[in-house]
Amino acid sequence: MSEHPWLPAEHTIKIRDLRTRFGEPEVYAAECSCGWTGEPQRGSGAERTARREGIVHVDERREAAERPR
């Protein structure tokens, strides 16, 4: 179990396709199991940018949990 009960033991990132209809421009956002949602990313590299944003989120949370209080 996590030594910090307010943090989930593991963050799981999902990349969500936010397009409402087929053929619309690409829009993706990262979502984490902790409830965090990244900014919508648009364009041809949107999925990759959203994934990178999710990885940064997980890394920041991990670093925050490891810091001594």
**Residue 35: domain span:** 13-66
- Does 48 reside within a domain? yes
Tokens of 4: 């910090």
- Does 3 reside within a domain? no
Which positions ≥6 away from 17 have C-beta within 8 Å?
27, 28, 47
- Does 2 reside within a domain? no
CA dist 9 and 62 (Å) reads: 10
CA dist 27 and 10 (Å) reads: 26
pLDDT band at 2 (very low <50, low <70, confident <90, very high): very low
pLDDT at 36: 95
- Does 7 reside within a domain? no
Taking the model in full, what pTM does it have?
0.77
pLDDT at 66: 82
Residues 11, 16, 18, 24: what is their CA dihedral angle, to the nearest 10 degrees?
Answer: 150
> What pLDDT digit, counting tens, does each position of 9-66 carry?
588 999 999 999 988 999 999 999 999 999 999 999 999 999 999 999 999 988 888 8
pLDDT at 1: 38
Q: What is the number of structural domains in the chain? A: 1
- Does 43 reside within a domain? yes
